[in-house]
Amino acid sequence: PEEIKNPFILPRYVRVNLLKSTVDKVVNYFQKNDGYTLLPAVEGKELAHFKPKTFRKDFHLHDLLVFPSNTDFHDHPLYIDGTLILQDKASCFPAHVLSPPPGSVVIDGCAAPGNKTSHVASLMGNKGHIFAFDLDKRRLGLLKRLTTKAGCTCIEPINENFLETDPNDPKYANVEYILLDPSCSGSGIVSRLDQILNQKSQDTSNKLVQERLKSLSDFQLSTIQHAFKFPNVKRISYSTCSIHQIENEDVVRRALESTKEFKLSAHCIPQWKRRGLDGSVENANYVARTLPEEDYVIGFFVSCFERINPNENNNK
């Protein structure tokens, strides 16, 4: 097979499920059993050229490996046993941003199909509890299957509207971390980078498109404002796989304008260079964005809110 030189294809990102193995053991497995060569970690456009049977540790995330784009894992024993999770790099950002320590109580407000929920469980070593909400029963069924395969034992799937949960229910009294990855336009999702160029030429001046984005962004804002109401929440990650400012920085700005209790956290993948759009929100450098054609990941946005005075009892 020839070296992959197609600059339009994203590499294959593989998350190591720490509930099943360690990164070192998985790296060893690919070297010893599958004849792969480990190359140094690189970022951005250097990922465009990837020889077959080579792989890398990710440049930014400790539990992620990067393979040539056409690598098929579906019959691989480590995929079948739930050790490997096929997940784009950018969609691994939110769990790292939230990074609840083992033992934490967490809400995933819009959880299905559960890739980020299982990632949070992996980082918590299955210690603690995750309430995983989703409105859609079928998608929640997918979450149950996916997280069971991944060996997650700390997840409670709940088929309810997150916006209708009572933040003062004693059940949620110890919730300190909330992950929000609500429905979005999905405009950043691409498997080929030339698709994103088509997306960009999409007419966002079209009235119907504008109306849809406005209604999505109002919903996205309401999830953050609902999360603010949980009395002991101290960190909230908000993410989308959209490239539109109206669903990203604008939602963050509107959320900040509506609270005195939360601010943006600087601990939002600080080593990632591409930050929020200039002038879109105060501290735009505290939020992170991706640009598929340069970063070689899907189009994504992530931000992190933290409580200003975490020790003040917010119970009113």
Q: With contacts defined by CB under 6 A, name the span among 25-33, 76-84, 111-119, 278-286 that binds ligand SAM.
A: 111-119
Q: How far is the CB of 143 from ligand SAM (least distance, A)?
A: 7
Joined tokens for residue 203: 């007419």
Task: Write down the residue that tokens 């079948």 correspond to.
Answer: 80
- Dmax over CA atoms of the chain, in Å, equals 65
**Dist. CA 13–CA 25, nearest whole Å:** 17
Tell which residue, 93, 88, 117, 54, has the closest CA to residue 272. 93
Q: Number of residues interacting with ligand SAM: please give it, by CB under 6 A.
A: 19
| 92 or 287: CB nearest ligand SAM | 92
Query: Please, what is the minimum distance in Å from the beta carbon of residue 205 to ligand SAM?
Result: 25
User: What is the nearest approach in angstroms of ligand SAM to the Cβ of residue 290?
Assistant: 15
In sequence order, the 6+-apart residues with CB closer than 8 A to the CB of 236 are 177, 178, 179, 180, 224, 227, 228, 262, 304, 305, 306
Strand partners, 12: 67
- Asked if 112 touches ligand SAM (CB under 6 A), the answer is yes
Kindly state the smallest distance separating residue 162's Cβ from ligand SAM, in Å: 4
Under rule CB under 6 A, residue 114 binds ligand SAM: yes
Our finding on whether 13 is near ligand SAM (CB under 6 A) is: no
184 assigned to active site: no
Residue number with CB closer to ligand SAM (30 or 162): 162
Residues belonging to the active site: 241
Q: Which residues bind ligand SAM (CB under 6 A)?
A: 91, 110-116, 133-136, 139, 161-163, 181-183
